[in-house]
Amino acid sequence: MLFLQISLLAVLLAAGDNEDAFQEEISFKMIHSSSFYNHSWVKIRYSAWLGDLQTHGWDTNSGRIIFLRPWSKGNLGKEEIKELEEFFRAFSIEMPHELHRHASEWKFKWWNKSSGYVQTIQSVPGRQECSTQDSQ
């Protein structure tokens, strides 16, 4: 019995060195991607990531958040989730209109006969990217 206790103590003491493993900073990112194929067809995607693990998605047809993990809802209540879904739904409608309105001043190369498209990607927090692509 004493041998088991000593073995357990040795394992616990050796495992005590793992404190540094929990010091690594993990980021939570929300990504919004919009693809503009022409003036009337816009495809919008949302996703959320905890480090390298995707935790949330977006169902475009229903306008609802998809929780990809059992714990993805966290402490959010039904009303808070409903408010977030309303925000993303409204943003999905307003953002393409604003891009169309300001396209000339931002000097995007918009659609032409070669059926080009513009794709914008916004990553929260802090980092925003925008890329223009043409398919020829």
| Residue 14: both structure tokens together | 């050796």
Number of alpha helices (DSSP H) and beta strands (DSSP E) in the chain: 2, 6
DSSP 85: H
Place of tokens 């357990």: 8
Question: Cα(73)–Cα(66) distance, rounded to whole angstroms?
Answer: 10
39 — pLDDT class (breaks 50, 70, 90): low
The answer to whether residue 45 scores a pLDDT higher than 50 is yes
> Each residue of 18-29: pLDDT tens digit?
555 556 788 889
Compute how many other C-beta atoms are within 10 angstroms of the C-beta atom of residue 39. 10
Q: How far is CA 74 from the centre of its chain?
A: 16
108 vs 23, which has greater pLDDT?
23
Q: Which whole number is the average pLDDT over 33-60?
A: 85
Average confidence score pLDDT of the chain: 72
Greater pLDDT, 56 or 99: 56
Residue 103 has pLDDT above 60, yes or no: yes
- 53-59: strand order across its sheet: 64-67, 53-59, 42-50, 28-36, 117-124, 128-133
CB 42 within 8 Å of CB 49 = no
Residues pairing with 34 in the sheet = 44, 120
pLDDT above 90 covers a percentage of the chain that reads 22
Helix (H) or strand (E) holding 91: helix 78-106
- pLDDT at residue 136 tops 60: no
Sketch out the chain's domains with CATH numbers: 23-133 (3.30.500.10)
